[in-house]
Amino acid sequence: MWTYLPSEGTTADDDKTVILFNDYLPKCCPLLTKLSLISRGNTAEFFQHHVQTLVCLPNMDSLISLHTDMALLFEDIHNLGQYSWEAILPPRLQHLTVRETGFEEYGLPPVDQYLVPLADLFVRLAQDCLDGRCCTLKEIRYCSRALYHDPAFVLGNRIIKAFQSSGVNFILERL
């Protein structure tokens, strides 16, 4: 267990040192194997500078299990197509749980504009696993509200089908 540090730009009282969370985590916890970090939409309070996502994850070589909010991985929900899972995730990650929370401050776009890019994002992850770019992943759990707005669940089924041939256990849960 570790103590929460308000991150970016926090000054330690004793020596006036600035503590940056994305620098602190890999340097001070290099052997961390499990991380559960949920912001519940408070990314602005947690990260006080311009970088409000976990950009340190690719430097976390020992991390094998990650449970976090989608907003801590992807800063801009309106441009999900710009992100590469390989560039975001730790290199040895085996278990990933992503909760579809933390985007409330952005104001979700209409569901039909949001769901297709969201599904594409996860289909790309399945393809990355199949192509060996995210080859250490064994299980992905996605906790979603938005995918269940699709009455026929077409996009949810599209994601599930993409993972069937990837060798990764994909679990879709309703929030």
What value does the mean pLDDT take over residues 60-74? 92
Amino acid identity of residue 174, one-letter, is R
> pLDDT tens digits for 139-168?
999 998 878 877 788 989 999 999 998 999
| pLDDT band, very low/low/confident/very high, at 19 (cuts 50, 70, 90) | low
d(CA 4, CA 7): 9
Give the start-to-end residue ranges of the domains of the chain.
Answer: 31-174
Which range of 25-29, 46-50, 127-131 scores highest in mean pLDDT? It is 127-131
* pTM tops 0.85, yes or no: no
CATH topology of domain 31-174: Rossmann fold (3.40.50)
d(CA 134, CA 85): 8
How many angstroms separate the Cα of 94 from the Cα of each of 43, 87, 97, 135, 141? 25, 15, 10, 9, 11
Q: What is the pLDDT of residue 112?
A: 63
The strand ranges marked E within the chain are 10-11, 18-19, 34-37, 65-69, 95-99, 139-144, 169-174
Q: What is the pLDDT of residue 44?
A: 65
pLDDT over 50 at 5, yes or no: no
| pLDDT band, very low/low/confident/very high, at 111 (cuts 50, 70, 90) | low
